[in-house]
Amino acid sequence: MSLHVLEVGEAGPRVVFLHGLFGQGRNFLQVAKALTPDLRSALVDLPDHGRSPWSDEVPYPAMADAVAETLRERYPGEPPMHVVGHSMGGKVAMLLALQHPELVDRLVVVDISPAESEGAGEFVHLLDSLAGLDLAALSRRSEADAALAGAIPDDRVRAFLLQNLRSSTEGFSWQANLSLLRRDLATIGGFPALEGRFDHPVLWIAGERSAYVQEEHAADMRRLFPRTTSVTIKGAGHWVHSEQPEAFVSALRVFLASDRRGRTEH
């Protein structure tokens, strides 16, 4: 499976960005632009999202393999890349580093843990709300926004979700594979039992107001990624990169440019 990739920047080491559920690579566009000219970025649409192909199932090892295949095809012979993954994309990034360590230099895991994620009920509600929208009755995007306002009152969340609504001469359709994501939501919320370890530096970023990273997850994180440095970004919830973009970019710059011989922190 060859995934859609949006490239930003022309020089420097490459940073691969992996988005979360309902997202797409361009969610990191402003972050990628802020990292230029020192770093260039590859913004990946994960399977069943954005402009990437749909699949029949969404196990994390398969998603990581799809990313690895895409990187090998697109950047043959290139040195190991930095990988940044948020939420679902953070789980894919962890699997990528463990299954294909030769592709990954430094790893950044954003507001997710190598553990089962709670809060599936919220995502069930969001998926059901989107799937229940009568696309055939829509003539403009604003009508979709108005129709979803009752079920999804948060303007920011609604705008983020509606980025998945595609308009063509044939009408409106969803870019994300909603039926598959709804069916396999338990798999997306889980995390496979893993052995092994990734011995390169890892930055584990948490949002101060988020509950996806807990102290009880630290032991598994250190077991799989022994060279982990933890950072909490103040004032941020789960969407760290969009809620506190300057602090997020600063953390990335410091970590990706730091001396690789520096001491390990936990």
In a domain, 88, yes or no: yes
User: Does 165 share its domain with 49?
Assistant: no
User: Does 101 share its domain with 15?
Assistant: yes
What's the rounded Cα separation, in Å, for the pair 119 and 218? 20
User: Does 125 share its domain with 102?
Assistant: no
In a domain, 265, yes or no: no
Query: Do residues 252 and 31 touch, judged by C-beta distance below 8 A?
Result: yes
In a domain, 264, yes or no: no
User: Does 41 share its domain with 99?
Assistant: yes
- What is the DSSP secondary structure assignment for residue 13, as one 8-state letter? S
User: Does 138 share its domain with 162?
Assistant: yes
User: Does 106 share its domain with 144?
Assistant: no
Number of domains in the chain: 2
User: Does 97 share its domain with 124?
Assistant: no
37: three-class secondary structure by DSSP = coil
User: Does 53 share its domain with 169?
Assistant: no
Point out the domain boundary residue: 128, 151, 178: 178
The confidence score (pLDDT) of residue 59 equals: 94
Query: Do residues 207 and 237 touch, judged by C-beta distance below 8 A?
Result: yes
Cα separations (Å) of 47 from 69, 88, 90? 12, 12, 14
In a domain, 184, yes or no: no
In a domain, 138, yes or no: yes
Residue span of the structural domain in which 142 resides: 120-178
Query: Taking the CB of residue 57, how many other CB atoms lie within 10 A of it?
Result: 12
User: Does 59 share its domain with 99?
Assistant: yes
What's the rounded Cα separation, in Å, for the pair 52 and 36? 25
The residues near 160 (Cβ < 8 Å, ≥ 6 apart) are 22, 23
Where does 112-225 show beta strands of DSSP type E? 165-168, 171-174, 202-207
Sign of the torsion formed by the C-alpha atoms of 60, 66, 71 and 76: positive
User: Does 212 share its domain with 96?
Assistant: yes
In a domain, 262, yes or no: no
In a domain, 263, yes or no: no
Point out the domain boundary residue: 137, 158, 178: 178
For the record, the structure tokens of 103 come out as 């592709």
Residue 37, preceding peptide bond in cis (omega within 30° of 0): yes
Point out the domain boundary residue: 132, 152, 178: 178
What CATH number does residue 203 fall under?
3.40.50.1820
In a domain, 266, yes or no: no
- Please name every residue paired with 17 in a beta bridge, in sequence order, or none if there are none: 43, 84
What's the rounded Cα separation, in Å, for the pair 70 and 78? 13
What's the rounded Cα separation, in Å, for the pair 56 and 99? 21
One digit per residue, pLDDT tens: the chain, 266 residues? Answer: 799 999 999 999 999 999 999 999 999 999 999 999 999 999 999 999 999 999 999 899 999 999 999 999 999 999 999 999 999 999 999 999 999 999 999 999 999 999 998 766 788 999 999 999 999 999 999 999 999 999 999 998 999 999 999 999 889 999 999 999 999 999 999 999 988 999 999 999 999 999 999 999 999 999 999 999 999 999 999 999 999 999 999 999 999 987 543 333 33
User: Does 89 share its domain with 19?
Assistant: yes
User: Does 128 share its domain with 252?
Assistant: no
